Amino acid sequence: MREKGIFEKIVDREIPANIVLENDEFMAFHDIAPKAPIHVLIIPKKWVKDFNGVNADLMGKMSEFILQLVDTLEVRESGYRLVTNIGTDGGQEVPHLHFHLLAKRKLEANFG
Ligand code: 5GP
């Protein structure tokens, strides 16, 4: 059986996180090592390994949740970057689907 991952422990309140927004299916919390003044991670509470595991239903609901987060953070006008890393070449460290939302600084167009 797969061991419970770090983000599932955050969902279950077994390890602390600075939560920005949540509902029954999704959670958004501040990244522990922020790369911008705002760096929030968005996850589905139910484990999905990465973007390869999504479907239209999940992405539809997750997109609505992310847009709600965008308004909560008040970055709709100033802009932001949404990124999801997949697998080894994508640089994914935590195997639980998540989007990074980065905002409040001018980000380079460098995906190195
Ligand atoms: P990945 O490289 O998988 O796309 O991103 C994983 C992200 O999770 C990294 O930006 C890392 O800083 C963040 N992270 C790892 N462990 C924790 C944790 O325990 N709490 C929080 N809030 N973020 C974490």
User: For 70-111, how does the pLDDT look when each residue is reduced to its tens digit (9 = 90+)?
Assistant: 999 999 999 999 999 999 999 999 999 999 999 999 999 877
Average pLDDT value for residue range 19-39: 98
Ligand 1 in contact with 112 (CB < 6 A)? Answer: no
Instruction: Tell me, yes or no, whether 108 lies in a domain.
Output: no
Q: Is residue 110 part of a domain?
A: no
* CB atoms inside a 10 Å sphere around CB 93: 6
What number is the average pLDDT over the span 7-35? 98
Give the integer Cα–Cα distance in Å for 22 and 45.
9
Q: Is 111 a member of any domain?
A: no
Among 4, 30, 94, residue to substitute to test ligand 1 (most atoms within 8 Å of Cβ): 94
Q: What is the CATH number of the domain that holds 98?
A: 3.30.428.10
Residue 112 included in any domain: no
- Section 7-22 average pLDDT: 98
Cβ of 66: how many Cβ atoms within 10 Å? 19
Atom of ligand 1 nearest to the CA of 98: 4
pLDDT of res. 109 = 87
Tell me which residue range forms the domain holding 61.
Answer: 6-103
Of 44, 14, 17, the closest CA to residue 31 belongs to: 17
| Annotated active-site residue in 39, 96, 98, 100 | 98
82: Cβ below 6 Å to ligand 1? no
Contact criterion met (CB below 8 Å) for 29 and 18? yes
The count of structural domains within the chain is: 1
